[in-house]
Chains A and B, each alone.
Chain A
Amino acid sequence: MKLPPDVTAANFAAAVKRFQSVVGPEWVFVSDEGVNLYRDAYTPFRGEPDEYIPSGGIGPNSVEQVQEIVRIANEFKIPLWPVSTGRNLGYGGAAPRMTGTMVLDLKQINRVLEVNDSLAYAIVEPGVSYFDFYRHLQDNHHKLWLDCPDPGWGSVIGNALEHGNGHTPYQDHFDFHCGMELVLANGELMRTGMGALPNSPSWGTFKYGFGPHISPMFSQSNFGIVTKMGIWLMPEPEAVKNYLVAVPAKTDLVPFVDTLANLMARGITDTNWAIGSPILTSQNPKIAALVASGAPTEELERAGRDANLGYWGTRLRFYGPPEIIDAQWKYAWEHLSAAIPGATFKLAASFTFPMDRDSIEEPPDDVFGKTALGIPSLSIFSLGGTTRRDGHIFFSPIIPMSGREMAKAQVIFPQAFKDLGMKPPELVGGWSWFKRNLVLLMPMTISKDPAENKKMRENYRSLIKIAAANGWGEYRTATAFMDHVMDQLSFNNHALRRYHETIKDAVDPNGILAPGKSGIWPKRYRESHT
């Protein structure tokens, strides 16, 4: 049993009894077997004493129960780590940042409260996963699509709060949220946006409300527990088309990214595309051997031309009426052709709707194909093949959507990997989740060997510093690295972190909610953890 800091066993037992009286004894988990279900399956501290282990889990089934739990937690100074569906794998799973914190498991608060077909929004609770939400929309014949992140078991609310993304024009999930209900650290209930106006029909339509727009303060933070949220949905498009674009030379990267960035700023394409390299990641044994041998660029480019593979490539997805897609594509094609001699273009997939989406099969050439049609899936876990794996975390810095920055990243990170004694990635891929930016994704694997994990953690921290030295910060990170990522945002003697702490101490004086989330420590734990 890992008790919360400064809480006696007797007080903890008394608090557990009170929690049991609120949710029923079967929904408070403090046995070893119960606690184990809340540990991070992908922890980078596997088998080490530093793993963040919760003291237990509590599974309420109503907002009123959450309020009561928070009041009791204040009374007994029990820290709580709220999770929505608890599937934040690679970022800490359902486990807290601080050992001894109790996990407040909201999975059973899982109703879709409203779906508005004409204004295309819904109000949902935190336990609603993308799988649940898709089923609800399908079974009730709503002609609305949700934008899915890659793993479909995530929470619609949780993913938005963590700044998660999908593939359609609605890809930036937090950007498409609208109004929240929260349980505050004192147990009080609050609504933001027009949710604050009783019986307002604008909760799901007008996110700003009146006065300071504070909803974003509750994303990636520990200032409140979100119990309801509005989310905008996409009316079913008449068509979806995917086009593959490839460019032949290594030096084409700069005009390629710059042209795509310009298309995005103009709204010609507003979906998720990624910069990849058909040559460097080719499964063709001859080309793969050439890449592995460290062949010179000219040779790789020649092999690429012979095999009809670009040095760089992307897939552009368009959604809407076919006539508008055709016009968007014509504009994109003309501008990419003009900017990059030898660019090639190919229609990869075309769908028209309405059709029975439940019957859509996974396309063999596009692991995200189904997800990009608003159908939740777990296909992303198949990346990496069938070799047994024990988890992963991502190092994911943000760079501006600029060719120069992207080309620089292709030099900086492979060199950093080499210097740190790791196998450098063939390329550093970039994703257009947040307009005007690329998110670089570099997976790091979890091992059963604590020595390997220790080295990985050191390397991860070094990469955070190397990125920061180039002006690049992370968009999201695993609990193990939240302090390190926040440390880099150091302008004016960490004014931002100090402001977070000022807010934290004002709204949560007992430090009950998610201590350590995003590097924000409440006063009572600050000295011992920073």
Chain B
Amino acid sequence: MKTLLGLVLAVGILLPSAAVAQNAEPDLKAGKATFVKWCAPCHGEGIYMTGTNALRAKYKDAKPALLEQRTDLTPEFVKGFVRKGAGLMAPFRKTEISDAELDALAAYLSRKEPR
């Protein structure tokens, strides 16, 4: 993942004008990649998705059970859960999700145009 992030950063260095023109886009792509790798196995779609099922039970129909469909998440909220955990979900260490990756993940999940 650090290699992937390094690649994203390197592309940003090589193409500064493109990176500036589409300011938030690289973050969201990196954030999506972190979500797919670390969050989707529990918070994706499927019958045995423990995170999705737990949130469905908790919120009923008040909020989407899928994190990617939420519009009420803030970066701080996402970061808090990733670093502190909740219930069965153990926290994620910085060697797993680095601070930079967490910034990108938080930006991705708190975007206001959910999937």
Which A residues form the contact surface with B (CB < 8 A)? 27, 29, 33-34, 36-38, 41-42, 57, 59, 85-87, 89, 93-94, 105, 107-108, 127, 131, 152-153, 361-362, 364, 367, 376-379, 381-382, 386-391
- Taking a contact as CB atoms under 8 Å apart, the answer to whether A94 and B46 are in contact is no
Instruction: Decide: A386 near B95, CB < 8 A? Known: A131-B37, A364-B47.
Output: no
- Other-chain residue from B42, B48, B95 in contact with A27 (beta carbon distance below 8 A): B95
- Taking a contact as CB atoms under 8 Å apart, the answer to whether B83 and A37 are in contact is yes
- Taking a contact as CB atoms under 8 Å apart, the answer to whether B93 and A386 are in contact is no
- Taking a contact as CB atoms under 8 Å apart, the answer to whether B42 and A390 are in contact is no
- Taking a contact as CB atoms under 8 Å apart, the answer to whether B83 and A361 are in contact is no
CB distance from A280 to the nearest CB of B (A): 22
- Bound together, the chains give a CA A143 to CA B103 distance in angstroms of 36
| B87, closest chain A residue (CB) | A388
Q: Chain A residues near B84: list those with CB within 8 A.
A: 36
Q: Chain A residues near B54: list those with CB within 8 A.
A: 386, 388
- Bound together, the chains give a CA A38 to CA B49 distance in angstroms of 25
| A135, closest chain B residue (CB) | B37
- Taking a contact as CB atoms under 8 Å apart, the answer to whether A382 and B94 are in contact is no
| B83, closest chain A residue (CB) | A37
Instruction: Decide: A89 near B47, CB < 8 A? Known: A105-B95, A153-B41, A382-B53.
Output: no
- Bound together, the chains give a CA A377 to CA B49 distance in angstroms of 9
- Taking a contact as CB atoms under 8 Å apart, the answer to whether A94 and B87 are in contact is no
CB distance from B68 to the nearest CB of A (A): 17
- Bound together, the chains give a CA A53 to CA B87 distance in angstroms of 19
Instruction: Decide: A105 near B90, CB < 8 A? Known: A131-B41, A362-B46.
Output: no
A-B contacts, 21 of them at CB < 8 A, read A38-B93, A41-B89, A41-B91, A57-B95, A86-B93, A86-B96, A87-B90, A89-B90, A107-B93, A108-B2, A127-B95, A361-B46, A362-B48, A377-B41, A377-B48, A378-B48, A379-B50, A382-B48, A386-B57, A390-B87, A390-B88
CB distance from A133 to the nearest CB of B (A): 13
- Taking a contact as CB atoms under 8 Å apart, the answer to whether B93 and A94 are in contact is yes
Q: Chain B residues near A153: list those with CB within 8 A.
A: 41
Count class of interface residues, chain B: 20 to 34
Interface secondary structure of A, over-half rule: loop
Instruction: Decide: A386 near B96, CB < 8 A? Known: A362-B47, A381-B88.
Output: no
With an 8 A cutoff between CB atoms, is B56 at the interface?
yes
Which B residues form the contact surface with A (CB < 8 A)? 2, 37, 41-42, 46-50, 53-54, 56-58, 83-85, 87-96
- Bound together, the chains give a CA A105 to CA B93 distance in angstroms of 10
Q: Chain B residues near A85: list those with CB within 8 A.
A: 96
- Bound together, the chains give a CA A387 to CA B49 distance in angstroms of 14
- Bound together, the chains give a CA A362 to CA B47 distance in angstroms of 7
CB distance from A206 to the nearest CB of B (A): 32
- A29-B94, A381-B42 known, 11 other contacts, Cβ within 8 Å: A37-B94, A57-B95, A59-B94, A85-B96, A107-B96, A362-B48, A379-B48, A381-B50, A382-B53, A386-B58, A389-B87
- Taking a contact as CB atoms under 8 Å apart, the answer to whether B41 and A152 are in contact is yes
Instruction: Decide: A382 near B50, CB < 8 A? Known: A36-B91, A37-B93.
Output: yes
CB distance from B101 to the nearest CB of A (A): 12
- Bound together, the chains give a CA A262 to CA B86 distance in angstroms of 45
Q: Chain A residues near B37: list those with CB within 8 A.
A: 131
CB distance from A462 to the nearest CB of B (A): 26
| A377, closest chain B residue (CB) | B41
Q: Chain B residues near A127: list those with CB within 8 A.
A: 95
- Bound together, the chains give a CA A153 to CA B89 distance in angstroms of 13
- Taking a contact as CB atoms under 8 Å apart, the answer to whether B95 and A108 are in contact is yes
Instruction: Decide: A378 near B50, CB < 8 A? Known: A59-B95, A107-B93, A131-B37.
Output: yes
| B2, closest chain A residue (CB) | A108
- Other-chain residue from B56, B85, B88 in contact with A389 (beta carbon distance below 8 A): B88
Q: Chain A residues near B42: list those with CB within 8 A.
A: 378, 381
| A106, closest chain B residue (CB) | B95
- Bound together, the chains give a CA A367 to CA B47 distance in angstroms of 9
Q: Chain B residues near A378: list those with CB within 8 A.
A: 41-42, 48, 50
Q: Chain B residues near A386: list those with CB within 8 A.
A: 53-54, 56-58
CB distance from B83 to the nearest CB of A (A): 7
| A378, closest chain B residue (CB) | B41
| B49, closest chain A residue (CB) | A382
- Bound together, the chains give a CA A29 to CA B92 distance in angstroms of 14
